Structure 1
Amino acid sequence: MSVQPGVTYKRYAANGVTTVFTIPFLLLDASDLQITLDGVLVTSGFTLTNIGNPTSTCTFTAPPTGDLLFQQMIPFQRLNDYQINGDLLSETVNRDLDRLWLAIKQINRDSGRAFTVSPLEPEGIPPLPVKGLRASKVLAFDAFGDPVTSNLTLAQIEEQPALAVESAQAAAASAIAASSSESSASSSAAAAAASAASVDGRAGRFFGEVVMLPNRNSSPNGVIKADGQLISNALAQYPAAVADLQSGTPSVPVTTPALWLSDPTKRLCWAYDSVANQIRVPDWNGKSAGSLGPAFFRGDGSLGFATGTLRQDQIQNISGTLLGRGYVTVGGNGALLSGSGAFSVESKGGPSAVSLGTLGGSNANADLATFNASLVARTGTETFPTHGVGVWGVVLFGSVSNPGLADAAVLATSYANQQAQLNALDAATGFAYVYFNGGSEGSPVNVAINSRYEVANPFGDHPVICVPQFLYNGEWETCTPAEFGTTTASYGVLAAGRRDKIVARTGSAGLLINTPIGQLITTPTYPASTQTALPCRAQVWRLKG
């Protein structure tokens, strides 16, 4: 019998009613057939008919339900052995040849389930990495299209969605909390996907390298803004950086997280908090709270200054001398003869003379001494060395070791820079309560009518929004200031920021009145009588700007 092209399997969606199924491919023996139901091998409960024909039939005793699959599975073996001068019967030879062709069809079917390269690549590709190197890894392809494995293990990959969600939620919360943000929460969520990147220190850059960027829009892969920001989930995202920072011989200046915050001269160091699992980036750009300002880069020299130390600006000493005369004469020169260095002497005479004293009834001429550093040095409103302006960045990683469809290097860099933006946003906004007349949260104090109170602005001289409140019947209530009546009396309280203070001014006739006419308050009902002494506080929001 000839062997025709065609499939060597048949799949049915068994419905629990049908018992007879057609097998539309040639089977030479019943043992060449494999039956599975929902992936489970079936070896009994059925009968086969018409084996040896182009189609055969399988009849089940009980109707099956589920994914029913028939496949040809010929054992790769040869059972017939031809003898010298023996019979060469067509039936025997044809059966053997049919079996070979059926086996070839089976191999062709099975190879169709494997990865193959294009026919235009007859050279093929190298074999996969050995088992020990690919265990628990992800298969990828390098720049030449050859198979490689990533550095990320399956366990690390499974952690990434949760880390991305966590970072996205944090970014979204920061964006919602602010009236204005440098980037939207959606871009923060996208940047949070950077946590999927596993990185090392290759590609021509090294961990901690300080890089000058032309502006804040420049973000080369692996380079983040050196703004003193915190990088969360550090161990999972940047294991090589954490290992370096925790080693006995780190390749960058390292300090403790506490000292980084308390000592501004340590702000050019890195720090790792193993409890919070956060990397603190150096603040070369002077962006963190309490910073001494942007830093210049210079060699350590031979004066014993430690790397990573921020030295405050200074100017070389400017000096000068004045030489005086031994005596002065009436109508003659003044008391100063000459000046050197930063001093100059100008002889003054005539009507512009400054009175030095009366000698013989006449004024002696006087000299005017001036100190001008610009005579010997370049001067201005700041002291600094020769420099160019840009943005400092630091290398957090080099090449990405798990290449794929997503550009993980871009994501990782974007995520780290997003941390700097969010930290800056958090530092630019805030909220606090202030209590007037010496009160506190645990012990608020009454304020009187027609009075003015001052407390320190919790945010220095930054602009704020204030909402005053009174403690009435155990609840903090808000009211509007009011002014009405035949005597133009005022009620309520006004609170506002004034330089570095929060000022409260109470009404001349009352704090809370007993009528909605003229004043609105948040109490369920208006007081029975006008209140003239109540504890007072203010809600204070720091504004970004």
Structure 2
Amino acid sequence: MECNGQEITESQYPELFALYKDQQQAGKAFLPDHRGEFLRGWDNGRGVDDGRALGSHQGDAIRNITGSMGLVGHVASVHYGPAWGNAPSLSGAIDVARGWAQNSTTPVGNADPNAINGFTFDASKVVPTANENRPRNNAVMVIIKAVSGPNLLSQIAVPQRTVINASTGQQNFSHSYEVGRPLWVYMNGVKLIQGDDFTATDGSTISLTRPLVADTDIEIESFGKIVLSDMIGDSTHDGQSYVRKDGAWVTEKIADYALLDFGTVTKNSRYVQDNPFGDASVICYAEVFFNGNWGQAYMIWADGGFGTQGSQWGNQIVVQTGRHEVLNSPRNTGMPHGAVAGLTSGLCRVHVWRVGV
């Protein structure tokens, strides 16, 4: 959502509501309004911009500019002031140092009130000043999302869902989830509020704050992850299952991703390797090396087949090539390789991600 100061309700966004509740108005919550504002990292104890709360607004300011102007000479017979009809008319940051204040009848300093002996310059008389130059801004906390783990490039959220026909008196439910990731619990279709209606702290158990008073359908949803291992570089394989660990290809299963090397494949052929994740369901696709690059290969079933297909068959990963070619024209197959004139053999590999257990 845009941070435009809009009001949010607890029923729509319970977590945001709890974060911003009572900050602007008791019992209500509003998003911050960052339109037209610079964002400034919250000081949070550093001492550069201390004394501010997270989310607070700060007006613009410049560092103060001060100075003085002395008279080159003094003529004792010349007087300045209202009595003589010639009180100084000054503006902006300039003021008198001694004598009469600008356009006033009150003398300043300890000098002869009828004489002006100097001038001062003070920018704070005109503009806001501070010990720094700054635009108007809002204090924000700048954060970076980091995920720990060896050779980790990214995480893809994978939805997980458990439906339970719960019984009267039941309070605890089993569901695998990652602590800190999104988690939703529904009772007969009504969304429950984490913290108020249930707790989830150990990654495997969801506990209702009160036992069920009747048989109820409980639905639990969460996001798991697929970990993509480091794929920098390449290697020559011997037809086995490999993953990347600390910059090297190894055969141990350290992640839910593996790369199978099928070597050189030829048209009208079938190649089989073991599924690196046993009987678990996987997503996989084949790539063929052409013109210096790896690219995903597809299959069209016309007159016996053109292309290369990788797929799962139980506890095996199968590569099947077309009857006529392993790569065909992109306009026929959608392959990314560019112009291909009937490639009948080539290097092949298959990416495999586990999505089941």
TM-score range, shorter chain: 0.3 to 0.5
Q: Which structure would you say has the larger Rg?
A: 1
Q: TM (normalized to structure 1)?
A: 0.27
Q: TM (normalized to structure 2)?
A: 0.38
Which structure's residues are more often helix, by fraction? 1
